[in-house]
Amino acid sequence: MGQQEHHHEHCSCGCGHEHHHDHEVNLNRYEAVVDGSAVETDDGAVQAAVQRILDEHCQANNTPEVAQFLLNCVDLTTLNTDDSEHSVAQFVQRVNQFDENYPQFKNVAAICVYSNFAQVVRSTLEVSGVDVAVCSACFPSSQAHIETKIAETSLAIQDGADEVDVVLNVGYFRDGAWEELCDEIYELKQAVGERPLKVILETGLLKSAANIRRASILSMYSGADFIKTSTGKGYPGASLEAAYVMCRCIKEFYEKTGQVVGFKASGGIRSTEDAVKYYTIVKEVLGEQWLTNERFRIGASSLANALFQSFTGSEVKPF
């Protein structure tokens, strides 16, 4: 994605090679890049902006065509404590069968599992155009040694992962340890290489528009290919307000650097109506060019069936 060249040129964030600089100078760089943003951080104003977009545009987007498009943006997800090789293989078979039963419709974008199941998905998946995505780096808490996180991520890629979702180190965020925060994302991006790295901000924990803006900017400058709302574990999931702030940050980053970062909403998006709201935010803030599954994803499990029922009018649950 060309993110790394940018990273070294500007050194706006910790790239792991700048430790000889004065620590304070480095911290000022992080502040400067965040302070240089014009993205709205007043929570009331963000809420009003979201409401205005939905009032003006949401209804027009609630169509069978949009529901079909959204199904092709779903990262079909299973992240359960009792997932097993057998249950994950069965999960993947539903995606295979969807292709057989409904060749006229596009399939989901990816199957998203814990990193230890990448090989199971890779060996079971018979469908082209569906990626193997994993949640890695000690998901969902991101609490572990960086060496452990890199090892887990590298193993998942060896096992056939196409995409990697990791959680921002919210502990570093909480302490204002920007250099450590950015270094960690940068190192995980190195482990992932050319594949997309999706950085989960855990917006339900960050809460404020100001925090979400900072996390978005620092993640993008450190090599995130996507920024994602939530883990869906333990904290409130996606919100339209968080989506709005993140999309505004993505747009600004694109205007400043020419680099495209994707947006992924996840955590509690279950109905077609909800999914269409996120679609509307992405369309109105980022524009048509983000309406592709290479730039827009929704992480979900039950949503895929809801979308299918919306555009077919049937009661069938293929997933």
Task: List active site positions.
Answer: 165, 228, 264
Amino acid at 94: R
What is the spatial distance between Cα 228 and Cα 295, in angstroms, rounded to a whole number?
Answer: 11
Those residues with Cβ within 8 angstroms of residue 301's Cβ, 6 or more apart along the chain or in another chain: 76, 77, 78, 319
How does DSSP assign 32-80, residue by residue? HHHHT------HHHHHHHHHHHHHHHHHHH-SHHHHHHHHTTEEEE---
Q: Phi and psi of 222, rounded to 5°?
A: -100, 0
Strand partners for 134: 113, 164
Separation of CA 109 from chain center: 13
For residue 175, the tally of other CB atoms under 10 A from its CB is 11
What is the spatial distance between Cα 209 and Cα 212, in angstroms, rounded to a whole number?
Answer: 5
